[in-house]
Structure 1
Amino acid sequence: MAVKPNDPAASSQYTHPPGILVSDSYCKPYGYSCYRPEGTKDWLVMYTLAGKGFVNNAGCGLLECTEGTLTLIPQGVMHDYYTAEQEVWEKLWAHFIPRISWMDWIPASNTDGPVYHVPIGSPLIRQSMEAAFRRVLSYRLDTYTTLREELTLNALEEILLLAASLQTDRKPLDPRVKEVLDILARQFAENHLIEDLARQVCLSPSRLSHLFKEQVGDSIIETLNKYRLRQAEKLLKYTLRPITEIAWDVGFHSPDFFTRQFASYYGMNPSQYRKRQDKNPPIVRGEGIDPIR
């Protein structure tokens, strides 16, 4: 297995704000490799343009990436990838946190492990896939386009929809899991007991916990905390409200715990994050923030 311990992405602290894409195109000769023993806190999608590479996961074995191959790796999944011997691997890639509305059609695993991996045979879908990736890169680099983030997410959504269209036997998100997701998204500031949520969807707590983790990739508590942190991030960016007040409003009853959670997820504490927003549009005092999408 290829090991690259100095790659910052190998760290369990490698994170991106939810909904914000980090993307690029690589053209790497033999010797290029990356090993992430704990996976990442986001999802990774890769599309091979030319050459050959390999993706390895303990659950699904060695997967060959050749021209027209799409690979989707969920968060928290150990993986290792590298350029094949005597090859140059050219690929497009993006790290992302999916919106809840995407979970119904994000492709499920078609390997022995959690990874989705498919060679695309249709020239039309290949062309559309590459075009969508190119738009992701274009919007990321264009700092002058209004609503750049939304346009980037729309391009990523097209990539995932194209991937979903290739999976004819995929299973939709369980309606009971979707109902719990909707509850958490609407009522993220409230305290939720797994027992109460299970009762609402007519499941036992253990069955709900297992099914939720299986389909979403995070536990119920982890998902709830991500909703809270996403809302807090918006409040920090677009309002001048005190950090302690924001922590309470989104459901964290300990400002210190909120700061630790925020720093773990975003890679910096709330004060540092707010200071970094100097180049963003002016903050409006007292503005309301839309619920998490």
Structure 2
Amino acid sequence: MILDANGLFAGHYIESDSYVTKRPQGRDDWLLIFTLEGAGYVNYLGAEHVCKKGVLLLIAPGTPQHYGTLTNHTWQFVWAHFPHTLSETNLLPQEDQIFLTIENESLQERIYSAFARILADSRERGEYWFELCCSSLREILLIMAQKNIRKMDPRIEEVLHLLSGQMREQIRLEDLAQTVGLSPSRLSHLFKESTGYSIIDTLNRMRIQQAVMMLAHTGRSASDVCYDVGFQNYNHFTNQFRKWQGMTPSMFMKRPR
């Protein structure tokens, strides 16, 4: 456990099935728990919720707390206590408790990385360590807020993550489908149903959005940017730019700034 006088403290536990925490009056700060492996539980308003891998639990100040490890299990989780002053009010929910399952493995890794940075920065106590901890905590809360707004199949979230990470590469529908465990036809249907766009349109839109930022801020030529964002043919790049921006790259670069 890492404890700090500023009101932010965190830890990483691996607990046997004898572990239980009860705070009938709650605490005067927020509690965030992320399950890494095994299984725990949380009792709230007479109902028991199981905390398996990928579950994020956020408990508001003053909320009764009762949680522990499920019988015949171990429970590995990271956690952080923090005051409401460490985050914008709009990132903190109105509910007393938020129970959110993160099924997307890439997103699970991102959340764990943020927790790991909180623990590491707290231990190292380097320059601006507290501000770095707050930044990592804010990233987790932003992910939670985004998930509460956008309800999407985790397989489609994974495809979006793959498209953004491999934007410059040649991407095959068959490879994407195999990665998320769907047939190509089922993936195509589910993706368009979820996003409103086909996979290829989404990829090209990502590329053009990146191209717009590069043309506006880097001083690179349109032909260079074309290949930077993953297009192999300049005419195709121009056509896609016109489709998504309503003008050609040259027209965009001539606009008054």
TM tier relative to shorter chain: 0.5 to 0.7
- 2:91 is paired with a residue whose SS is coil
Q: Structure 1 residues 61 and 155 mapped into 2: Cα distance closer, same or farther (>3 Å)?
A: same
Q: Which residue of 2 aligns with 1:80?
A: 66
| Correspondences of 1:136-175 after superposition (within 5 Å) | 136-143=118-125, 145-168=126-149
The one-letter amino acid paired with 2:14 is C
| Correspondences of 1:53-68 after superposition (within 5 Å) | 53-58=40-45, 61-68=47-54
**Which digits, 9 at most, give the CA deviation of each residue in 1:16-45, with x for residues without a partner?**
75x531100000010100100000010000
Q: Separation in 2 of the partners of 1:138 and 1:122?
A: 24
Matched, 1:39 2:21: no
CA contact (8 A) 1:36 1:80 kept: yes
CA contact (8 A) 1:107 1:163 kept: no
Instruction: Give percent identity, aligned residues only.
Output: 29
Which stretches of structure 1, 4 residues or more, deviate above 4 A after TM superposition?
none
Q: Which residue of 1 aligns with 2:106?
A: 124
CA contact (8 A) 2:27 2:62 kept: yes
| Correspondences of 1:227-246 after superposition (within 5 Å) | none
Which structure dedicates a bigger proportion of its chain to helix? 2
Matched, 1:29 2:11: no
CA contact (8 A) 2:87 2:138 kept: no
The one-letter amino acid paired with 2:107 is I
Q: Which residue of 2 aligns with 1:92?
A: 78
Q: CA deviation at 1:108?
A: 4.4
Q: Structure 1 residues 43 and 89 mapped into 2: Cα distance closer, same or farther (>3 Å)?
A: same
The one-letter amino acid paired with 1:106 is L
Q: CA deviation at 1:100?
A: 7.0
Query: TM-score normalized by structure 2?
Result: 0.55
CA contact (8 A) 1:49 1:92 kept: yes
The one-letter amino acid paired with 2:110 is S
> Larger radius of gyration, structure 1 or 2?
2
- 1:99 is paired with a residue whose SS is helix
Q: CA deviation at 1:61?
A: 1.8
Matched, 1:115 2:101: no
- 2:42 is paired with a residue whose SS is strand
Matched, 1:106 2:92: yes
**Which digits, 9 at most, give the CA deviation of each residue in 1:193-238, with x for residues without a partner?**
xxxxxxxxxxxxxxxxxxxxxxxxxxxxxxxxxxxxxxxxxxxxxx
Q: Separation in 1 of the partners of 2:87 and 2:98?
A: 19
Q: CA deviation at 1:102?
A: 1.6
Q: Structure 1 residues 39 and 16 mapped into 2: Cα distance closer, same or farther (>3 Å)?
A: farther
Q: Separation in 2 of the partners of 1:41 and 1:140?
A: 21
Is there any run of 5+ residues in structure 2 with no aligned partner, and where? 152-257
| Correspondences of 1:191-270 after superposition (within 5 Å) | none
Q: CA deviation at 1:107?
A: 3.8
Q: Give me the CA root mean square deviation.
A: 2.1
Q: Separation in 2 of the partners of 1:72 and 1:29?
A: 22
Q: Separation in 1 of the partners of 2:60 and 2:80?
A: 12
**Which digits, 9 at most, give the CA deviation of each residue in 1:91-117, with x for residues without a partner?**
0000001237521122443xxxx2100
Q: Structure 1 residues 101 and 119 mapped into 2: Cα distance closer, same or farther (>3 Å)?
A: closer
Q: Separation in 1 of the partners of 2:75 and 2:20?
A: 11
Q: Separation in 2 of the partners of 1:100 and 1:140?
A: 15
Q: Separation in 2 of the partners of 1:79 and 1:61?
A: 12
Is there any run of 5+ residues in structure 1 with no aligned partner, and where? 1-14, 171-293
Q: CA deviation at 1:70?
A: 0.2
The one-letter amino acid paired with 2:7 is I
| Residues matched between the structures, number | 149
CA contact (8 A) 1:20 1:149 kept: no
